[in-house]
Every structure is written in structure tokens, then in C-alpha cells.
Amino acid sequence: MINLKLLGRTRAQESTHAIERMYITMRHLFNRGFYKPMGVSGETLREALLILRPEIYGSIADDKAELSGLLYVIDRLPKGIEECRFINLTSDEGYGNSHFKPIVPPKRRRNCYRIDDEQMNIEITRGRSEIYDILTHLTFLFVESHKIMRRVIIDEEGSVTRDWQKLEKAVLQEEPLDQAQREIALTHTANILGRTFFEVQDIYPKFSLPGNPERFLNIIYWLGKLAIAETINNDKRIITFSPVLRERLGHHIHGEIWADNIKQHLIKENLMHRPLHIISANMHSVMNTLYTPSALKTELKKKKPLEIYELLSNTANGDLRSKVMKSALDNGMTFLDDKSGTNIDVQIFDTAKLNGKYGSWDIKTEEEAPVIIVMDYAFGEQAYETMDELLKPYNFEGNEIKMNVESISIMGKAGILEGGKGDIMIPSAHLFEGTADNYPFKNELSPADLEGSGIDIVDGAMITVLGTSLQNRDILKFFHDSTWNVSGLEMEGAHYQKAIQAASKLRGSIDSEVKVRYAYYASDNPLETGSTLASGGLGTTGVKPTYLITEKILEQIFKS
């Protein structure tokens, strides 16, 4: 056995090499058109993931099953995928006009279609990052399935343990399980997974869906069932990439349609020449900040703005949310529902129609009043595609019309390397993982702008990673401790900045002195045990930093 230390290789270097191998392999498999994840063709991916042991996948390299990682992955893949032997990644190829009903994962906006009992189609409209994300999650899922298989098969003929027989009986039972039957099934499942009854009982309700309370048991059963079929009958699971997807990828087809829809609306409403401010953010914070003062005057007499924002972030408060939405639509906001396939909705705010003032700044004359374009979050490389297409001049009736973009602001969630959930990061540069590519910029936002709020603020560089699910403690510790002075990690920053620099400094599509703002709030600290993305969402912890950043961005827009 070669001693890696004698070769001078650190664990961080080994992990970085594993990530590079994964991405090279995934590109090769994509070009090939198909592969068997648990066969020879998928071996490199499996080995690299097991060497890497990402924090988000927890105990993937151990014999026992990883429960939190499984929940994280299942939330990002279509319901029923664990039952499918054939997974087909496609472009937008017309399934939306068929009898197939779209299945949208709760934590990833992508259309998926169950073609039959054995096949799931997943639409890819967000570029390579989306393919990498899906293949990584599927590799984890199939590795976990083979752990189950190894714990239940007794001999080469396919005989299985009593635990598996009892789980199968519970899953296939037509009548709903009562509490006693459920706890018996969970006992056998705990043995199969190498976990305690307490751990299994604790995770079980987190998988449940309305109409399918036993979803956790079903997932474990089907993962094991297909893994057993692969081993005993050689019925391999297969992932394919449609010819249309392979042909279209990288051509900005969806991004161009998306950007043209925005520009057509701006021209139609005579807004193209007005001061334009682009914000990449969620679909609620800008709207709520602008319209809550007028829409919820009564409520603001009893509660502070932050308390109102916390109420608005809760889907249970539909009446309050409807009031703000109605006020916005009546006073200058237009919502452009995405029809391009990018899954990026857009809000356009004509602030000349704002009723009264925002904060302490008078709305200017109509011609000088800012027009704010809020785009929902892009995903990875999709950030370059959408921003690049948006900033291009628009050809209208034979004339090339440039957008009068005065500022571009990027607000999002990121992993923090020194601090905790809800802290804020103000970057001065983006570094691209796996390369020496770096994008320094003048950030109009500074830590001083946000101080005094009771929230910890850090600055430094941000690393744009190829996938948040592929980071492990050793890589992140290297980023944090090295002279790169990295404060956090995210997936879009370098892609956005690449498009902004190209448009402003090289192509001349927008003003070379366009103002740029970046701010992130921490969704997790992947260096802290129990604080990774798999440990759960931010909850109301994210409300305060979200609105603090939003207010500062709007303050600078109205002051400009």
C-alpha cells in the first residue's frame, strides 16, 4: 500500500483530484450517451465519490446507511425515482404537452415525467451544473442501495434475511399500517440500515407525504429491491442522455428565450431607456420591502417590520401575502412567469408607480425613476447563460437597442467557512474551483453598510464551486486557511461576474462603469458538524439577513 503522505499529497489534494475526475468522467459519459451507474462504466464516479466523502453525504463510505444525506437527495429528485431502472435525462422535448403529469421535486424546480413503471425522464434546462448535480445525487443513491443489498442477501442464489422479508411484507400490505405494525417494520428496517431504532424512527416522518405516510419504508424497499435485481439477475440500472439534450447543451437556447421575453416587455412598456437595476434574488424580499409599508399599514402599527417579514415568509399567512402581492401588482410590479424552461421567474418594478415614497427617499421624476428587474436564482453555470443573454443588445425592428443597466446586484445563500447560519458575507472577488481563474471586482456593498444590525459580517473572496454537494471538510479547510482568504462558497458568483465583465469591459453592451453588488447570507457552515445543508433549512434565521441586504441594495439604487 502506497503511503500517500510519502508522496506529499494531502487529503485536500486527494479530494480535489477526486472532484476533477468526477467532472471529467461525467462529461465523458454524457458524450457517450448512456452508462450503468453500478456497472464498469460508473465505477470511476463511485470510487471518486467514496474517496471524496462529501460532508453533505455523511457516512457514505461506511457500511451503515446515511439517513440525512438520503433525505437531502430525495428532496431534490422526483418522487418515485427509487423505483425506476431507467433514468433518461432529456431537454425540453414536448412532454409538457402530453398526458404525462410533471413531477417537480420539492427542493429543485425541474420537470420530471414518469413514463412507465421502470422509466423516469428528467428535463434538463439549466445546463451542465444541473446534470452534474443529478448524476452526483444518483451515484449516492445507488451506492446506498447496494449497502442495503449487501446487508440482506444471504447467498449467491438470492436468499434474503428475515428482516428484508418482514420489510417487504409491510410495504406490500394493502391496508394502512397501524402504529404497532409500523414500529415492527421500522425495527427490521433499522437492522437492514445498520442504524438504531431511535434514528430510524426520528427520520421516518421527514420522508412522509400526504397520502403516503410510509414513504420512508417504500424508498428503502425499492432501493434494496433494484440493487438485489442488479446483483442476482444482472438487471442493471441505466442512465441515458437524449440525443436532443446532447445536441442542445451549451447553446443558450433557454436563456436566449428567457432574456428576449424580458426585453420585449421592457420595450412594450417603454422602460428600456430608463435606469435599469438587475437583482438576482428570491421572489419575495424586494416586493415585500417595497410594498409592505403601504399594504400593511395597520399591521405595522402593532409589529416591527422584521416581525412582519417573518410572518410573510410563512406560507400559512396567505392573507397577508395576498395583500402585499395585490398592492405590488396595482402599483408598478409586473410578474413574468417563466415560459422558457429556465425555471427563472422575473419581477419588473416600475418605481415611478410606487404609491408615495420608499423609505426616506422621494421617488424621482418618471424618466429618472429606477426600473428594477428581479430574477429568481439561477443554478450554477446557468448564471452565465442567463446574465450573458440578458445583457446583450436587443434587435428590435432592425435596430440594436442596448439596455441602460446602471447596477447589477447578486444576493443569495452560501456556505460560510467562519461563522454560522444567518451571518453575512461581502465578497471582493470570486475564485473558480479547480482552476486559477479569479474575478476581483469593486463591490458597492461593504461590511460597514451592514454593521450595527446584530448580525456578524465577514469579507474576503468567495469560491464558486462546481457543486455544493461535492465539498468535504479537507477541501473547505484548505480554502479557509490558505492565502486565498476565502470566506464562503456558492455556485453562481464567478459565472455571473464572467458575464458582467464580458458585457461591460469587452463587448460594450452595457456601461463599463456599471455598479456591482454581491452579498450572501450563510445557509450553513459545512466545516461544523450538524451545520451542513443536510441538517435542515434556515427557517426564520434567514429572514433578518435577507431583508437587511435587500434594504441596503434598494437604498443604494434609490440614492444613485
Over residues 142-183, the pLDDT tens digits come to 999 999 999 999 988 889 999 999 999 999 999 999 999 999
User: Do 233 and 306 have their domain in common?
Assistant: no
User: Do 314 and 183 have their domain in common?
Assistant: no
User: Do 238 and 282 have their domain in common?
Assistant: no
Domain membership of residue 424 (yes or no) is no
Name the residue with cell 456497472. 39
Bridge pairing between strands 457-464 and 424-432: parallel
Domain membership of residue 408 (yes or no) is yes
Name the residue with cell 465505477. 43
Per-residue pLDDT at 4 exceeds 50: no
Check residues 527 and 67 and name the one with the higher pLDDT. 67
Query: Would you state the pLDDT for residue 360?
Result: 59
User: Do 217 and 253 have their domain in common?
Assistant: no
Which of 244, 270, 287 terminates a domain? The answer is: 244
Report d(CA 491, CA 415) in Å as an integer: 10
Residue 470 C-alpha cell reads as 461535492
Minimum mean pLDDT range among 84-88, 291-295, 443-447: 291-295
User: Do 157 and 106 have their domain in common?
Assistant: yes
Which of 215, 244, 273 terminates a domain? The answer is: 244
Report d(CA 555, CA 560) in Å as an integer: 9
Give the orientation angle of helix 11-32 with respect to helix 473-481, to 10 degrees.
120
Query: Would you state the pLDDT for residue 539?
Result: 55
Model pTM score: 0.85
Amino acid at 305: P
Provide the H-helix boundaries in 209-278. 215-233, 243-248, 253-268
Sequence-separated (6 or more) residues with CB below 8 Å from residue 246: 30, 31, 33
Per-residue pLDDT at 237 exceeds 70: yes
Averaged pLDDT for residues 426-454: 91
Calculate what percentage of the chain has a pLDDT beyond 70.
94
Query: Would you state the pLDDT for residue 534?
Result: 52
CA 232 remoteness from chain centre = 37
Domain membership of residue 231 (yes or no) is yes
Per-residue pLDDT at 219 exceeds 80: yes
| Total number of domains constituting the chain | 2
Domain membership of residue 428 (yes or no) is no
User: Do 62 and 123 have their domain in common?
Assistant: yes
User: Do 310 and 196 have their domain in common?
Assistant: no
Minimum mean pLDDT range among 277-281, 434-438, 526-530: 526-530
CA 113 remoteness from chain centre = 20
Handedness of CA 227, 83, 56, 42 (dihedral sign): positive
Closest-CA residue to 137 (of 51, 61, 73): 73
Q: Where are the beta strands (DSSP E) in 53-175?
A: 86-90, 112-114, 119-123
Check residues 72 and 536 and name the one with the higher pLDDT. 72
Domain membership of residue 469 (yes or no) is no
Report d(CA 287, CA 327) in Å as an integer: 10
Query: Would you state the pLDDT for residue 362?
Result: 66
User: Do 255 and 237 have their domain in common?
Assistant: no
Amino acid at 545: P
Domain membership of residue 451 (yes or no) is no
Domain membership of residue 429 (yes or no) is no
- Enumerate the β-bridge partners of residue 373: 278, 348
User: Do 329 and 229 have their domain in common?
Assistant: no
Residue 460 C-alpha cell reads as 474576503
DSSP 34-55: EE-TTSGGGHHHHHHHHHH--G
Q: How confident is the model at residue 89 (pLDDT cuts 50, 70, 90)?
A: very high
User: Do 236 and 331 have their domain in common?
Assistant: no
Averaged pLDDT for residues 231-253: 91
Q: How far is CA 362 from CA 273, 369, 370, in A?
A: 21, 10, 12
User: Do 258 and 287 have their domain in common?
Assistant: yes
Per-residue pLDDT at 383 exceeds 60: yes
Angle at 343 between CA 278 and CA 81, to 5 degrees: 150
Boundaries of domain holding 142: 9-244
Angle at 114 between CA 110 and CA 120, to 5 degrees: 75
Q: How confident is the model at residue 357 (pLDDT cuts 50, 70, 90)?
A: low
Q: How confident is the model at residue 474 (pLDDT cuts 50, 70, 90)?
A: confident
Report d(CA 108, CA 379) in Å as an integer: 10
Per-residue pLDDT at 536 exceeds 70: no
Which of 190, 219, 244 terminates a domain? The answer is: 244
Q: What is residue 502's DSSP assignment?
A: I
Quote the longest CA-to-CA distance of the chain. 81
Query: Would you state the pLDDT for residue 7?
Result: 39
Instruction: Count Cβ atoms below 10 Å from residue 488 Cβ, excluding itself.
Output: 31
Minimum mean pLDDT range among 6-10, 23-27, 230-234: 6-10
Bridge pairing between strands 276-280 and 405-416: parallel
Instruction: Count Cβ atoms below 10 Å from residue 36 Cβ, excluding itself.
Output: 16
- Given a contact cutoff of 8 angstroms between Cβ atoms, the answer to whether 404 and 276 are in contact is yes
Domain membership of residue 436 (yes or no) is no
Minimum mean pLDDT range among 5-19, 31-45, 278-292, 530-544: 530-544
User: Do 259 and 199 have their domain in common?
Assistant: no
Report d(CA 299, CA 319) in Å as an integer: 12
Closest-CA residue to 125 (of 239, 251, 24): 251
